[in-house]
A and B are shown apart, each in its own frame.
Chain A
């Protein structure tokens, strides 16, 4: 395959996963992510890998749990309703400190919702989604190139921190086609001495487990896990700033909303409004720093989302309520237009100075 190719976002994820050394994929059909499964079904048998259409999303995530226990890179993908079903398995992966990659190509909800793009699983992704105290590393691509690159990054981070990494994309990202450069370096997976690969009668048995019935011990495990999460926060937070240096109005947006917003920012600049964009690439850990800094010089932050306002809570927390934060959104599978975002910028700009 040529190294620069035109691909759908979903296909880019699948090809990048293979290039990252993933040879085990378990899926279940659901729109708008089914191309990931279809791509894997074609490719995996040819490279000695496993594609298995599981009987359910629950089974798929537990197959991932099995492969991860055996120390190999494994992934599953789904869209919103299917991710809810995977919540149980994701919690167990967290409890057993297993690395895995889960892709959510979001669609509108709640319930069966619709099949058009959405960002309304932000809370579910960034707060864990399943039961118990845990986090996933949540990566939000805003181009097909990033769909590929963040997939590789997701496997690497998952292995490094023994966590689930989630690609939080949306139907637009999954379905749109763009040229992708697939020529990226992949860090090899680290040694996994904890994996259940058979004792060979040469070591004590390994146990992969999330059960801990002694509260003092379970407390220690939780605290140790969160110390690891602190390292992720320190080392792995990613974001992009666009024209933020002198900005008076800041947009907060990720994924498809960030692309729309970038156009609106450019248009606003043409009209003499100093607008800028902060695009979180990791949604967990959330990039607090650029928002804290923005709060010292902008008069308003507009959170542009394909939800009823979920990331806006993190924007408020990060900017420590020192500046007005407003919402510009569409939901149910609708996407804000650049004009809608521009209107919000103009309105904010006309709202007088900083309080």
Chain B
């Protein structure tokens, strides 16, 4: 009896991620969902610029590498080219919430029928640990060496809350992957975000509060604890928008 198997949609290649990084977990969850929904052959993924830039080498579906922050625009093009395809972007916080904020907000406002997997680990990982739009107040990074000072650089952006004010998006949920129950809940959300697209419901974004032990300067275990103690109070988990569900409730 097979108790655990590697998902088909994740290629059997070494990932470049640091030890303890949660990108691997989220990659696996996305791949499992592609397997379970049987959509790998019809899916096109868009990789960002950032730590997950090489996601195109890891997923077995067709992949496109986009310019920094532009994945939702590229996804819009792919989806409009053939609406029968399943299109997802996989983006970090710098990519999605800083340089690509316009593309993110407008894809959401158009209710573009795509799935967005948003990794919020409160730091720029690939470039070596600079302040992200989601870095917490007081967080020490290479470009906030005295801690993020809101007088100088404002407050971290809560993407789900921000987008939830728009009429457009179908589904916004924030999850995390710092424990087994949370990972299971994250998978459920990711699956729903893909199912929404298949059902033609529109823009579905899952924000995954993630860890970066290397650039946070912590052991993997402490990084998972830091998510619980520091990140989640500022970034509360939950569903921020679920239009179909709320329309159901009204009936």
Minimal beta-carbon separation of A90 from chain B (angstroms)? 11
Q: B80 at the A/B interface (Cβ < 8 Å)?
A: yes
Minimal beta-carbon separation of A164 from chain B (angstroms)? 14
Interface of B is mostly: helix
Number of B interface residues in the complex (CB < 8 A)? 35
Minimal beta-carbon separation of B91 from chain A (angstroms)? 13
**What is the size category of the interface that chain A forms with chain B?**
35 or more
What residue in chain B is nearest A49 (Cβ atoms)?
B80
Binds B, one of A1-9, A202-210, A217-225, A304-312: A202-210
Minimal beta-carbon separation of B42 from chain A (angstroms)? 5
Binds B, one of A53-61, A226-234, A281-289, A336-344: A53-61
Q: Specify which chain B residues have a CB less than 8 angstroms from the CB of A56 in the assembled complex.
A: 102
What residue in chain A is nearest B67 (Cβ atoms)?
A92
A207 to B11, CA, bound (A): 13
Minimal beta-carbon separation of A308 from chain B (angstroms)? 31
Q: B75 at the A/B interface (Cβ < 8 Å)?
A: yes
Q: A63 at the A/B interface (Cβ < 8 Å)?
A: yes
Minimal beta-carbon separation of A331 from chain B (angstroms)? 32
Q: Specify which chain A residues have a CB less than 8 angstroms from the CB of B56 in the assembled complex.
A: 207, 209
Q: A196 at the A/B interface (Cβ < 8 Å)?
A: yes
What residue in chain A is nearest B71 (Cβ atoms)?
A62
Are A66 and B74 in contact (CB-based, < 8 A)?
yes
Are B63 and A62 in contact (CB-based, < 8 A)?
no
Are A196 and B63 in contact (CB-based, < 8 A)?
yes
A205 to B73, CA, bound (A): 21
Q: Specify which chain B residues have a CB less than 8 angstroms from the CB of A196 in the assembled complex.
A: 44, 62-64, 78
Q: B77 at the A/B interface (Cβ < 8 Å)?
A: yes
Q: B70 at the A/B interface (Cβ < 8 Å)?
A: yes
Are A198 and B73 in contact (CB-based, < 8 A)?
no
Chain A proximity mask over B44-76: 1 for CB below 8 Å, otherwise 0: 101000000110110111111111001001111
Contact among B46, B63, B65, B67 for A89, CB-based, below 8 A: B67
- Residue with the greatest number of chain B CB neighbours at <10 A, chosen from A196, A197, A202: A196
Are A205 and B62 in contact (CB-based, < 8 A)?
yes
Q: A211 at the A/B interface (Cβ < 8 Å)?
A: yes
Q: B243 at the A/B interface (Cβ < 8 Å)?
A: no
Are A62 and B53 in contact (CB-based, < 8 A)?
no
- Residue with the greatest number of chain B CB neighbours at <10 A, chosen from A55, A66, A211: A66
Q: Specify which chain B residues have a CB less than 8 angstroms from the CB of A59 in the assembled complex.
A: 70, 73, 76, 102-103, 106
Q: A24 at the A/B interface (Cβ < 8 Å)?
A: yes
Q: Specify which chain A residues have a CB less than 8 angstroms from the CB of B78 in the assembled complex.
A: 66-67, 69-70, 196
Q: A88 at the A/B interface (Cβ < 8 Å)?
A: yes
Minimal beta-carbon separation of B3 from chain A (angstroms)? 25
Minimal beta-carbon separation of A43 from chain B (angstroms)? 16
Are B82 and A70 in contact (CB-based, < 8 A)?
yes
Q: Given contacts A64-B77, A69-B78, A199-B40, is CB(A205)–CB(B63) below 8 Å? A: yes
A96 to B64, CA, bound (A): 9
Q: A167 at the A/B interface (Cβ < 8 Å)?
A: no
Are B62 and A58 in contact (CB-based, < 8 A)?
no
Q: B245 at the A/B interface (Cβ < 8 Å)?
A: no
Are A70 and B81 in contact (CB-based, < 8 A)?
yes
Q: A200 at the A/B interface (Cβ < 8 Å)?
A: yes
Minimal beta-carbon separation of A239 from chain B (angstroms)? 34
Q: Specify which chain B residues have a CB less than 8 angstroms from the CB of A58 in the assembled complex.
A: 70, 73, 102-103
Minimal beta-carbon separation of B243 from chain A (angstroms)? 22
Are B44 and A24 in contact (CB-based, < 8 A)?
no
Minimal beta-carbon separation of B36 from chain A (angstroms)? 15
Are B73 and A54 in contact (CB-based, < 8 A)?
yes
Q: A157 at the A/B interface (Cβ < 8 Å)?
A: no
Sample (22) of A-B pairs whose CB atoms are under 8 Å apart = A24-B77, A24-B81, A52-B76, A52-B80, A54-B73, A62-B74, A62-B103, A65-B73, A65-B74, A65-B77, A66-B75, A69-B44, A69-B77, A196-B78, A198-B61, A205-B62, A206-B62, A206-B63, A207-B65, A208-B63, A211-B53, A211-B54
| 8 further contact pairs, Cβ within 8 A, besides A65-B77, A66-B64, A66-B79 | A58-B70, A60-B73, A64-B77, A74-B77, A92-B67, A198-B43, A206-B63, A209-B65
Q: Which 5 A-B pairs have the closest CB atoms?
A: A66-B77, A62-B73, A70-B81, A196-B62, A55-B106
